[in-house]
Amino acid sequence: MLEEKALRSVSRGLALLSQHDGFFNKKERQLWCNLQQALAEWLSAEKLTNSQSDRLLSAYVDLEVHAIHDMDNDWEDISDEEILTDWLLGRTLDSYHPFLVACERMNPSDISPRLIGHFRRDLRAIEALAKPKWETFIESHCKAFYVSDRGRERNPTGPNSQEWTDRRELLTAMRKKGNWEAFWEEIGVYVHTHFLPPFRAVKAFSICHKPAVHLHPIGAFDEFDLDILEGNEDRIKLIMNNTHCFVRGHKAHNVLIWGSRGGGKSSLVRGLICHFKDQGLRALEIVPDDYSVLPDIFEIIRDRPERYIGVLDNISLERGDPDLGQLSRVLEGGLIAMPDNLIFYATSNYKDLVDRKGERRQGLGVMQMDEDDGARTIQGKRPDFYDPQQHQRLDELRALDDRFALKIYVDTLRKEQYESVLFSYARKAGIDCPDDELLKAFNKWSMRHNHDLIGGRTARDFIRYFQLEQLDCKV
């Protein structure tokens, strides 16, 4: 009977799966056990009652609703509208099974045969759970209460990305051919190429502190095309070379990118992330509240295959700020080693992150002089007051600066450069306007709104204004 085959499938699947397989958490395993028990009671009844049918329906609906919420917007109809089969197919690519975790770091063929065998057995178990046509089964036996949503539009195509194309092709092949365990190597190659969630197809992360410290994917990453940047070519090339060495697995420097506001410092960092994304580069957004948990983040990403740039945007600290010493120790000097796959890029309007008053030492100091005679003089003159610990105080203020080996100045754009940026933004926005008219409107707008320092941000804001003006004229 169909009902007995369904019970045997779910019983076999649960028996084969280890509680530490990574496919199901404790709640999900219990939901499957509830379905198994309700089905067994339903089959063993001499005379079927409404309450037994209700328990079976309730157990299925609980599992179905959980699957729908778990898939969320990633739900793609692969298996003829069988929700649980879609969910289980997705789990073969998304779960933290020990084999899949290992595939992130090495080719599937290089993994221990025992671990491969463990994964293949678990694939057999997952396929056994998916074997019954659960939605069809429940609809036929509980049709008085359960109505399927078959025919409703779902997500047939997914996002336009190579990762999603590879995913759909693999899952479709598994569904059509069956024998899921035969696809163990293809699954491993997919994970080796695209990683596991939440690191898959994500360019940047923020740091969340609750309920425990973890990385939160930034889905709507603010992408930027490096080709739009004008000027500072040699300086940008220096940062590009440093980043290129880093993504290739070599040692690289922390970088401080400083300069006037609106000059493209933050856009440069975002552009680097986009440019090197396919080589495994990811951004890690770090705000002052995150400084204290950076050691925890180190352990999360230390053995990850990706390369991370910790982005300290618009950084600025004051004397006596407790974050100063904390951030300095984390970047270098603490007992916890910084991961090899992490460097920091900071942006600031200042070259000196803390000592912005430009305080200078009163002479070189005894420790750096061959003789003591001139140590306490400046250009041969003895100061009115000599501070014997002024060197230590300045060292403390500038300790953070020293953590950034490369300090790259992003200069303000010259007239022809910001005009070129303006025209690039206009073309990208689809604005059809002669260059001289556009430039005339830009100069008028920038003076009217007091943009005394013109850079890429000013050009971008004007283009947004100009687009709205054109729309108003058409209304």
| Residues 169, 287 within the same domain | no
Query: Is residue 361 one of the residues assigned to a domain?
Result: no
Cβ neighbours for 402, distance < 8 A, ≥ 6 positions apart: none
| Residues 438, 338 within the same domain | no
Q: Whole-angstrom Cα distance, residue 421 to residue 438?
A: 12
Q: Whole-angstrom Cα distance, residue 344 to residue 255?
A: 6
Query: Is residue 373 one of the residues assigned to a domain?
Result: no
Query: Is residue 176 one of the residues assigned to a domain?
Result: yes
| Residues 92, 162 within the same domain | yes
Which residue among 363, 381, 410 closes a domain?
A: 410
Query: Is residue 123 one of the residues assigned to a domain?
Result: yes
Spell out a b/e string for 171-201, using b for 16 or more CB atoms within 10 Å of the CB, else e: beebbeeeebbebbebbbbbbbebbbeebbb
Helix, strand, or coil here: 220? Answer: coil
Q: How far is CA 343 from CA 104, 152, 330, 395, in A?
A: 21, 48, 12, 23
Instruction: Give the angle 348-350-352 at the CA atoms, nearest 5°.
Output: 115
Quote the radius of gyration of the chain (alpha carbons, Å). Answer: 30
Residue 352 is predicted with a pLDDT of 75
| Residues 128, 230 within the same domain | no
Query: Is residue 203 one of the residues assigned to a domain?
Result: no
CATH number of the domain bearing residue 238: 3.40.50.300
Report the Cα 307 to chain-centroid distance in Å. 11
Cβ neighbours for 327, distance < 8 A, ≥ 6 positions apart: 291, 317, 400
Query: Is residue 368 one of the residues assigned to a domain?
Result: no
Query: Is residue 316 one of the residues assigned to a domain?
Result: yes
For residue 336, the tally of other CB atoms under 10 A from its CB is 13
| Residues 43, 93 within the same domain | yes
Total number of domains constituting the chain: 3
pLDDT tens, per residue, the chain with 475 residues: 667 888 888 899 988 887 777 788 889 999 999 999 988 888 887 776 777 778 888 888 899 889 888 886 555 555 556 888 889 999 999 988 999 999 988 899 999 999 999 999 999 999 999 888 887 777 776 665 555 554 444 444 455 677 888 888 999 899 889 899 999 999 999 999 888 888 887 899 999 998 889 999 998 888 888 877 777 788 889 999 999 999 999 999 999 998 877 778 888 999 999 999 888 899 999 998 998 899 999 999 998 889 999 999 988 776 667 777 778 888 876 788 889 999 999 998 877 776 556 555 545 444 444 555 555 555 555 555 555 555 555 555 667 777 888 999 887 777 777 788 888 888 888 888 888 888 888 888 888 888 766 677 788 888 888 888 777 666 5
Q: Whole-angstrom Cα distance, residue 184 to residue 102?
A: 13
| Residues 266, 125 within the same domain | no
Residue whose pair of structure tokens reads 């339903």 in the numeric block: 42
Sign of the four-CA dihedral 396, 402, 317, 341: negative
**Domain ranges, residue 67:** 2-194
Residue whose pair of structure tokens reads 């028990």 in the numeric block: 37
| Residues 263, 394 within the same domain | yes
Residue 153 is predicted with a pLDDT of 46
Residue 142 is predicted with a pLDDT of 67
Residue 357 is predicted with a pLDDT of 60
For residue 374, the tally of other CB atoms under 10 A from its CB is 14
| Residues 158, 232 within the same domain | no
Which residue among 194, 218, 239 closes a domain?
A: 194
pTM score over 0.85: no
Spell out a b/e string for 353-365, using b for 16 or more CB atoms within 10 Å of the CB, else e: bbbbeeeeebbee
Cross-strand pairs, 311: 285, 345
Query: Is residue 186 one of the residues assigned to a domain?
Result: yes
| Residues 441, 394 within the same domain | no
Rama region for 304: left / alpha / beta (φ>0; ψ in -120 to 50; rest): beta
Helix, strand, or coil here: 338? Answer: coil
| Residues 315, 445 within the same domain | no
| Residues 395, 459 within the same domain | no
205 backbone dihedrals φ, ψ, rounded to 5°: -135, 150
Q: Whole-angstrom Cα distance, residue 26 to residue 178?
A: 27
| Residues 257, 399 within the same domain | yes
